[in-house]
Structure formats: C-alpha cells, structure tokens
Amino acid sequence: MDQEDFCQALGLDPDAKYESTAESERLGSRLGRLAPVAADRAIVPQAFRVDLLSAVTFNVIMGNGDAHSKNYSLLLGRRGEVSLAPLPVAVEVSRSTVRSARGDRARSVRTARWCVRSRRVGATVRVR
C-alpha cells in the first residue's frame, strides 16, 4: 500500500505545506478540493468524509495549530482505492490546554460553521 500526503495528492511542492489565504481565496480550500476527489475513490465515500472531518475537528479542538497539508495523508490501495491514513502527529497537551480548547476555542468554532464546511466536502450533517 502506498501513501501520499495532501501536498503530494494536490501536486504541490513539499515546502508548500501551509495553505495561504490567497491560495484558498483563489482556488478554494485544500480540504474542499481534495475531499470530493478522494472520497469518490474511497470504498465507502461517506466514511472517508467523516474520517477526514473527524481528524480535522480533533486537531482544532486539541489546539493543534501545526496541522498542515503534510500531516494528513492518503493510503492508496492496489486497485486505486483511497483511505485516510492515521494522524501521524500526536498532540501533547496539558489539562489546562484541553480545558482552554474545550472552552474558548470550542465556543469560537460554531456548529453552523462546521456544518457548512462538512457539506462542502460532501458529508451528510446531522446536528443533535
């Protein structure tokens, strides 16, 4: 099984691991560009979308500001099927960081905003 990070999958230079605002405004977000294409090649497209959004959400909640395009990777199967590779970077946090991430950061990440982002990558959204 082969693996390629999101920079490779998008044909970007390895040094371009951080997405710029200008790139996002010009081309759309990397997540939004990659997710639909990769999900279409996944064995279970909806599961791929959920896995990807779960990984991104985890990094946001944990306050991992270094979750760039080289920290997310695709596993490529023999028949061309795609799945999300496990997150390679463990975020080391203290209890106070987790409390802060759950508090201030969690409040700033609104449910509606995540619903919009989820729909952009083709995920079905249910808010409870």
What residues are labeled active site?
A: 66
Q: Token match 């044909």: residue?
A: 11
Residue 70, Cα to own-chain centre: how many angstroms?
11
- Residues 92 and 24: their CA atoms lie apart, in Å, by 29
Shortest CA distance to 91 belongs to which of 53, 61, 51? Answer: 61
- Contact criterion met (CB below 8 Å) for 82 and 42: yes
In 5-62, alpha helices (H): 6-9, 21-27, 30-41, 45-61
